[in-house]
Structure 1
Amino acid sequence: MSGITNLSSDKKGELIEQVKQQIAVANAQELLTKMTEKCFNKCISKPGLQLDSSEQKCISMCMDRFVDSYNLVSRTYSNRLQREQSKI
């Protein structure tokens, strides 16, 4: 880690942004994986070559609810962090 302390502030900023982007991509991949798994298990009783209309509707609604829930939790968590940081 001593190599990081030798970086200029611009380079540290670039490194931090790259790490943030990598974390965001990893979070998006995890969200997609969890959503796919949960919605597949909930909506698909007999896997086949095609989804019937009820399975398509179930998957669509499940994904919408999952994303809405994720966004609500993310906003609530972010707001709480901001409140906690403002108390410091």
Structure 2
Amino acid sequence: MLQAVGDKCFTVCVTKPETSFSRSEGNCVSNCMERYIEATRIISRAVLNSQP
């Protein structure tokens, strides 16, 4: 899953791949991955709390 998230974030954040990230690209990828991880955490809690 983490690989898929990284690929998606890379596609969204890196418009012109070069040998290294620009600061804004690196920040975008980092923020994007953090949002996915937090969303997964929230969903997991909701599912676990709804179990009888």
The TM-score normalised by the length of structure 2 is: 0.88
Does residue 52 in structure 1 map to residue 22 in structure 2?
Answer: yes
Report which of the two has the higher share of helix.
1
- The aligned amino acid for 2:19 is L
Percent identical pairs in the alignment equals 33
Residue ranges of structure 1 left out of the alignment (5+ in a row): 1-29
In structure 1, give the amino acid aligned to 2:12.
Answer: K
Which stretches in structure 2 are left out of the alignment for 5+ residues?
Answer: none
Q: Is 1:43 aligned to 2:38, yes or no?
A: no
Aligned-partner Cα distance in 1 for 2:24–2:42: 27
Tell which has more relative contact order, 1 or 2 (C-alpha 8 A, sep 6+): 2
Taking only aligned residues, the RMSD between alpha carbons, in angstroms, comes to 1.0
- Detail structure 1 runs of 4+ shifted over 3 Å in the superposition: none
- Structure number with bigger Rg: 1
* CA distance in 2: counterparts of 1:56 and 1:70, whole angstroms: 21
Where 2:35 maps in the other structure, the secondary structure is helix
TM-score by length of 1: 0.55
Q: How many residues align?
A: 52
Provide the residue aligned with 1:66 in structure 2.
36
